Structure 1
Amino acid sequence: MFDSRHIKTFHEVVRSGSYSGAARALGYTQPAITQQMKALERAVGSPLFIRVGRGMRLTEAGETLARHADTILTSISTAQQQMNAITRLRSGRVRVCAFPSANATLIPEAMARLAAAHPGVRVELLEGEPPESLGRVVRGECDITLAFTYPGLREETPAELVEIPLLEDQLTVLLPTGHPLARRRAVKLAELSEERWIAGCLRCRANFLHECAEQGFAPDIAFTTDDNLVVQSMVAAGLGVAMMPGLVLSFLCHQKVTGRALDPASRRRVSAYVLREHLGIPATARVLEELKTVAANRVGC
């Protein structure tokens, strides 16, 4: 393994034609130059220079190394510049995986803040629901995952991951605007026991069934879909009602749909998950900071 300092010194010796010339150019003593060249020759396993009168000439090994020295030093310099850009947040890439309602709410605000402060940092956005999205971080398919957990369900988080809590997202019920309970500020789940329901992703559905069981009834689930906009359209068409996360209210698109809080309140916890060693990567840490800021500024979640 070559020491880059020795390559730099060797390059200067070749350029100046002598140890003394390299010493003057680099600000070293001549014995220091000699010691570095001896160390480099030991690493190469062959002499690099031979004395010719008062001058010196490169050996075959020295000529080979000289042909590559410029490339080696240029590559090192380029690598240093790129690493400096990454550590100073002038560049970098972060892969973020989030569930749909977070992608529609938290992510755009956080990425806008990031782009304004650090335009060189690029974010690749993926979509996925837990628990599969947690596995993507462990497998190295993304750097950060946003996921949610419900207090009533026992859910295991991979031991390799660090959880950064973001917010408590209050659950809501989506009703057709003309529904009798739409005039209420809050709705008891048991009051909707006779309704037909539209259920969401597997984890949300499991929590929904758990909460209905706690209220003493089994819901009539007529449709299931992971698409929040499809749920809204179905509710607007009068095909059923739905229990949805409060984040969905931020992009409620149908005038024929009304969102009402549950009484008593029910919430899910939204968190970011990352491998512990990634916390020290500047771009990843900055994305996490922006997500925490945006989450803290959200009211009513």
Structure 2
Amino acid sequence: MVDFEWYRSFVSIYKHGSVSEAARTRMMTQPAMSQHLASLEAEVGEPLFTRAPRKMIPTERGKTLYTQVVPLIEALEETTQTLKTSTASSLPIIRIGANHEFFREKLAPHIGSYQLRVVAYLGVASRLLDLLLEEKADIIVMPQKLSVPGVEYIPYMQEEFVLVASPDYSEPAFAERDAFEAWLCSQPWISYDLDLPIIRRFWREHFQKRPQTQPTHVVPDLHSVLAAIEHGAGISLLPTFMLNHHLSSGKVKVLYPSCTVTNDLYLAYQMKNRSLPHLKALIETLKRTV
């Protein structure tokens, strides 16, 4: 059975005269692009290009196929795009990706003001970037800028992480940094990842080295970390945007408030979509509701 993506890859190679350039444009690997072409040629039963140094030259069969499929592909893509936005509602759809905690605490309370129909995807940074590249998400919130062709990043906001414990947790005073570090290392830590991502950054910021500790508990997400802290299971670093209610109700407390660590967040989208009106409108709204 012919895969529609084979035709899209064929058209891209035809237009660019190069497998590598076509792969870059479609954000695919070169071997995957070559496999698409080989599969289509096997289905057609003859070569569609002559392989020349640094150039793919279409054969007569390739030229004929190109003139036949281009109008069909363009019409199908236009129809698909129309279906994405033409619904019973007049509002356009925007597909947002973010991690679970950030969406729940910072984005979900404001979606009624976006003047858009929101479809949310939640996950870790690598998964969100895959969704963006696969054109399943229009915009994602990223904790770092990864060098990926065709993806543009703009600064969004800065998260602040603080050291959080249960209300009755001991908070001794320390005259020396080494004693403070030793005390921290002796505490039961709760993390959402064995690699201690934000804890490592905290240690680099305040002690200029990697943490000499291992988590006592590893739980699925930051809300689970917070729940465990409330019930006295240990300490951890959490973003301040999660804590307002829990602090005001006395369920947790911040230890050593001057010992914080920050993390920059970015909005990422495909560069080719930067001028889309609904994407520009959402970016402005997101910046206003930080």
Query: Is the 2:190–2:236 Cα contact (8 Å) retained in structure 1?
Result: yes
Query: Is the 1:189–1:262 Cα contact (8 Å) retained in structure 2?
Result: no
Query: Is the 1:173–1:241 Cα contact (8 Å) retained in structure 2?
Result: yes
Choose the corresponding residue for 2:271, options 250, 255, 276: 276
Which residue number corresponds to residue 156 of structure 1? 146
> In the aligned structure 1, how far is the partner of 2:165 from the partner of 2:147?
33
Choose the corresponding residue for 1:265, options 238, 252, 260: 260
Confirm or deny that 1:170 pairs with 2:164: no
**RMSD of equivalent CA atoms:** 3.3
> In the aligned structure 2, how far is the partner of 1:202 from the partner of 1:112?
37
Choose the corresponding residue for 2:233, options 230, 236, 239: 239
- CA deviations on 1:27-57 (whole Å, 9 max, x unpaired) are xxxxxxxxxxxxxxxxxxxxxxxxxxxxxxx
Which residue number corresponds to residue 221 of structure 2? 227
AA aligned opposite 2:232: G
> In the aligned structure 1, how far is the partner of 2:149 from the partner of 2:244?
33
Q: CA deviation at 1:229?
A: 2.3
AA aligned opposite 1:108: A
Q: Give matches, 1:101-112, under 5 Å.
A: 101-112=101-112
Which residue number corresponds to residue 34 of structure 1? none
AA aligned opposite 2:226: Q
Q: In structure 2, do the counterparts of structure 1 residues 222 and 272 end up closer, same or farther at CA, with 3 Å as the change threshold? A: same
Q: In structure 2, do the counterparts of structure 1 residues 221 and 257 end up closer, same or farther at CA, with 3 Å as the change threshold? A: same
Further displaced range: 261-270 or 170-179: 261-270
> In the aligned structure 2, how far is the partner of 1:196 from the partner of 1:231?
12
1:218 alignment partner, SS class: coil
Query: Is the 2:228–2:234 Cα contact (8 Å) retained in structure 1?
Result: yes
- Extract unaligned runs of 5+ from structure 2: 1-78
Q: In structure 2, do the counterparts of structure 1 residues 134 and 173 end up closer, same or farther at CA, with 3 Å as the change threshold? A: same
Confirm or deny that 1:143 pairs with 2:138: yes
Give the structure with higher Rg (CA). Answer: 1
- CA deviations on 1:160-202 (whole Å, 9 max, x unpaired) are 211121111111111011012299xxx9972422101011247
Query: Is the 1:195–1:220 Cα contact (8 Å) retained in structure 2?
Result: no
AA aligned opposite 1:102: F
Q: Give matches, 1:241-256, under 5 Å.
A: 241-250=235-244, 252=246, 255-256=250-251
1:140 alignment partner, SS class: coil
Q: In structure 2, do the counterparts of structure 1 residues 105 and 237 end up closer, same or farther at CA, with 3 Å as the change threshold? A: closer
> In the aligned structure 2, how far is the partner of 1:182 from the partner of 1:108?
38
Further displaced range: 262-271 or 164-173: 262-271
Q: CA deviation at 1:93?
A: 0.7
Q: In structure 2, do the counterparts of structure 1 residues 227 and 207 end up closer, same or farther at CA, with 3 Å as the change threshold? A: closer
Which residue number corresponds to residue 195 of structure 1? 187
Q: CA deviation at 1:286?
A: 1.4
Which residue number corresponds to residue 5 of structure 1? none
Q: CA deviation at 1:157?
A: 3.6
Query: Is the 2:194–2:218 Cα contact (8 Å) retained in structure 1?
Result: no
> In the aligned structure 2, how far is the partner of 1:157 from the partner of 1:225?
30
Which residue number corresponds to residue 18 of structure 1? none
1:267 alignment partner, SS class: strand
Which residue number corresponds to residue 19 of structure 1? none
Q: CA deviation at 1:272?
A: 1.1
TM (norm. structure 1) is 0.57
Which residue number corresponds to residue 51 of structure 2? none
TM (norm. structure 2) is 0.59
Q: In structure 2, do the counterparts of structure 1 residues 95 and 109 end up closer, same or farther at CA, with 3 Å as the change threshold? A: same
> In the aligned structure 2, how far is the partner of 1:125 from the partner of 1:172?
27
AA aligned opposite 1:228: L
Which residue number corresponds to residue 218 of structure 1? 212
Q: CA deviation at 1:251?
A: 5.3
2:148 alignment partner, SS class: coil
AA aligned opposite 2:162: T
- CA deviations on 1:134-161 (whole Å, 9 max, x unpaired) are 2210111211111213xxxxx6342321
1:220 alignment partner, SS class: coil
Confirm or deny that 1:180 pairs with 2:170: yes
Total equivalences in the alignment: 199
Which residue number corresponds to residue 42 of structure 2? none
2:223 alignment partner, SS class: helix
Q: In structure 2, do the counterparts of structure 1 residues 92 and 273 end up closer, same or farther at CA, with 3 Å as the change threshold? A: same
